[in-house]
Amino acid sequence: MSQETRTRAAVPQPAEPSEAGEPESAPMAGLEAEELDEQGPPPGDGLPADRFLDRERSWLAFNERVLELAEDPETPLLERANFLAIFASNLDEFFMVRVAGLKRRIATGVATRSVTGATPSEVLENIWVRAREQMTRHAACYQRDVAPALAAEGIHLLRWPDLTESEQTEMRAFFRKRIFPVLTPLAVDPAHPFPYISGLSLNLAVVVRNPASGHKHFARVKVPPLLPRFLVASPQRYVPVEDVIAAHLEELFRGMEVLTTHVFRVTRNEDLEVEEDDTENLLQALEKELLRRRFGPPVRLEVERSIDPEVFDRLVRELKISREEVFALPGPLDLAGLRSIAGLDRPELKYPKFVGGTHHDLAEVESASAPNVFAALRERDVLLHHPYDSFSTSVQTFLEQAAADPDVLAIKQTLYRTSGDSPIVEALIDAAESGKQVLVLVELKARFDEHANIKWARKLEEAGCHVVYGLVGLKTHCKLSLVVRQEGEELRRYAHIGTGNYHPRTARVYEDLGLLTAHPDVGADLSDLFNSLSGYSRRDNYRRILVAPRSLRDGLISRIRREVDHHKAGRPARVRIKVNSLVDEAVIDALYRASRAGVPVDVWVRGICTLRPGVPGLSENIRVRSVLGRFLEHSRLYAFGGGGDAGENEVWLGSADLMHRNLDRRIEVLVRVADPAHRSALTRLLATGTSDATASWHLDGDGRWTRHAKDAEGRPLRNIQESLIESRRNRRKRRDPSDA
């Protein structure tokens, strides 16, 4: 199939820098980082020039909030270890994409001042200072708090000298059997150039001496990435894999004297650049670019604090990295590997187990095997809130029943990210093999999931699905399913629009919203949109959805302005927003103007926020809150007061964050929620999340986030995630008392 039939031309958009971000898909990843929009501050029409916060500092502040959860002694111990791992993974991705992208733009001369007025070099210098502070604090949390607390619970994270004699004997046997055969020591001398150091790999810098000549030699040993980060020395006792290798270097360098060994780690630019307009086949081009990704320039060097100065100088020189980009830390490096420790079967050291149940609107028509989703949707729309409502008995069942139903004629689906053993993909394959028309729009450029998406694209094609890769220049980020079913003489369309990926595994730890509906307007809208994504349709106006890049930003801004009109007319007015990130200057300026007019604005943001709240004369009516916890807050939700009439207020949910990439360079969809009961439930959710009685972080006008977890009397504030868990458990008990 040619590229022309798979990737259609997008509406021409203003040329802007390519995207540089990080994934939302890695389990418990922090947040998506958007492209480097270095376009300078917008005019603002009378608004102050210093009205925006720096987005890089805001991202680092987000990761600091993750670190605060790891530092909190009231967080369950293994969850503290997990938050340490999340912090490390987040920072890895930040350097691989955000810092790498900024350095690339500086090197090519295309970088300009940020919206705060800072030069690119000033932004980079601030990143290095703040990141160094945080990495030092992160290491201290592990060394002084978490590791000793784990030891007190019988979980020992040890270094090689701490192992008992019998444990060292076991590790020697393990080394010879499982590690030694896959190691490749690489000498560095005039005949052997300095080897390529792959990104995020652990490495040993080794200095050996020839006893015959007395000459010193340098070598590098890479830690095989497929080995466990921490090896089991004995039950509940673990040792870093690099310690075991370092203890056996004599076996790698026979006849040589090992003088010193030091662990180091390099972070490289792992951003992708594929010029789609010049690419005949996007899939093949992306496969080639993924191979080139391995050879991106270095952007960070981590070394153990005890490193020998000569070895340090050699690494800096050979890697061609500045000293500002070197981070000296106490070992062990790469604490993202703590995820394996956090996964130990010690439930008393974790959050209490919770498994979402079947949504009550689906359970009411539940059969002996599974809820009949089509029967439920013919009665009413179903508003889903994951993970409190089960993904498997709602969205997954919806698609599996569609695949098996002989009356279903067609299924149309977007896939941005999904799991490696995806039941969603299997359902689509089953549907195609049974003769149904199946259209799947696979976003090949979902960052760091490109390999998986290429694999599924090929598998879907082989099964007979029509696979398309979206529009040139635009990522397809919307979360959509459309099912067309023959019912008597008519065709009825059933749809799902969500805020999260069709990923059963992350649906258990990501907080997301979704709407299942058979409403004709939504079905017609999605039919029109899929025709645009797979063909040449150019529809601009829809009935119940807003679509980026054409109508979403303007649609939101017009509704913010409408609240200003309500307020000026003496009617109640309010704006409430829940997003992962708030960066878009046009939307922020609209919120500032609403605040100046007296409209109360509540923003619930997980990660980046460049709006300055609480500034007199600018944003004193704006509050910004952030909630982090056991689940990753991931839903996007927009509520407008509608003049105070509960029957007329508008609530929208969907895939779009308020970032330039979402509004300008992605296909994003928001759907208007029609059911008054659903609108009330979502408005209550927003009110609870932004309430001063709810535990959260509060943002001030200077960009400082302050944690509010207890009231003035020292009592814990409401944990919104735990409250929602408890409400689902109580609802389940009321429906089935035997389920207590």
Q: What pLDDT does 269 receive?
A: 85
Q: For residues 238-267, give the mean pLDDT.
A: 96
Kindly report the average pLDDT of the chain as a whole number. 87
Please report the pLDDT score of residue 445 as a whole number.
55
Q: What is the pLDDT of residue 460?
A: 83
Q: Each residue of 373-429: pLDDT tens digit?
A: 999 999 999 999 999 999 999 999 999 999 999 999 999 999 887 766 789 989 999
As a whole number, mean pLDDT of residues 650-674 equals 95
The annotation status of 447 as a binding-site residue, yes or no, is: yes
Q: pLDDT band at residue 284, thresholds of 50, 70 and 90?
A: low
Using only the alpha carbons of the chain, give its radius of gyration: 27
The more confident residue out of 294 and 451 is 451
The model's pLDDT over 590-639, given as tens digits with 9 standing for 90+, comes to 999 999 999 999 999 999 999 999 999 999 999 999 999 999 999 999 99
Predicted local confidence at residue 25, as pLDDT? 38
Quick check: 275 pLDDT over 50?
no
Is the pLDDT at 663 greater than 60, yes or no? yes
> For 131-145, what is each residue's pLDDT tens digit?
999 999 999 999 999
458 assigned to a ligand binding site = no
| CA 617 distance to own-chain centroid | 35
Q: Per-residue pLDDT for 256 more than 70? A: yes
pLDDT at 369: 61
> By the 8 A CB rule, do 584 and 552 touch?
no
Number of continuous H segments (helices) and E segments (strands) in the chain: 23, 29
Six token digits for residue 199: 């990104």
C-alpha of 217 from chain center: 43
What are the tens digits of pLDDT across the range 59-68?
999 999 999 9
Contact 270, 97 (CB under 8 A): yes
Q: Which residue among 262, 359, 386, 477 is the active-site one?
A: 477
Using pLDDT thresholds of 50, 70 and 90, give the confidence band for residue 10.
very low
What pLDDT was estimated at residue 453?
64
User: What is the per-residue pLDDT across 202-247, written as a single tens digit (0 to 9) for each?
Assistant: 999 999 999 999 999 999 999 999 999 999 999 999 999 999 999 9
DSSP 3-state of 290 = helix
pLDDT at 147: 98
pLDDT > 70 fraction of the chain, expressed in percent and rounded: 85
63 annotated ligand binder: no
Asked if omega into 549 is within 30° of 0 (cis), the reply is yes
CB atoms within 10 A of CB 548: 26
Tell me the pTM. 0.89
DSSP letters for 442-503: E-TTSTT-HHHHHHHHHHHHHTT-EEE-EETT-EE--EEEEEEEEETTEEEEEEEEESS-S-
Of 417 and 5, more confident: 417
Give the CA angle between residues 512, 727, 385 to the nearest 5°. 15
- Judged against a pLDDT cut of 90, whether residue 271 lies above it is answered with no
Q: Give 275's contacts (C-beta < 8 A, 6+ positions apart).
A: none
Whether 508 has a binding-site annotation, put simply, is no
Give the confidence band of 498 by pLDDT, cuts at 50, 70, 90. very high
| Encoded amino acid at 402, one letter | A
Angstrom distance (rounded) from CA 377 to CA 381: 6
The reply, when asked if residue 510 is annotated as ligand binding, is yes
Residue 606 annotated in ligand binding? yes
Query: Could you give the 3-state DSSP secondary structure of residue 421?
Result: coil
Please give the share of the chain, as a percent, with pLDDT higher than 90. 71
Least confident of 29-38, 99-108, 436-445, 554-563: 29-38
| 272 — pLDDT class (breaks 50, 70, 90) | very low
Please name the helix (run of DSSP H) or strand (run of DSSP E) that holds residue 624, with its range, or none: strand 622-626
678 in catalytic set:
no
Contact criterion met (CB below 8 Å) for 332 and 263: yes
What is the Cα–Cα distance from 569 to 555, expressed in whole angstroms? 21
SS3 63: helix
How many CB atoms are located within 10 Å of the residue 176 CB? 12
**Band of residue 277 on the pLDDT scale cut at 50, 70, 90:** very low
The 3-class SS string of 358-414 reads CCHHHHCCECCCCECHHHHHHHCCEEEEECCECCHHHHHHHHHHHHHCCCEEEEEEE
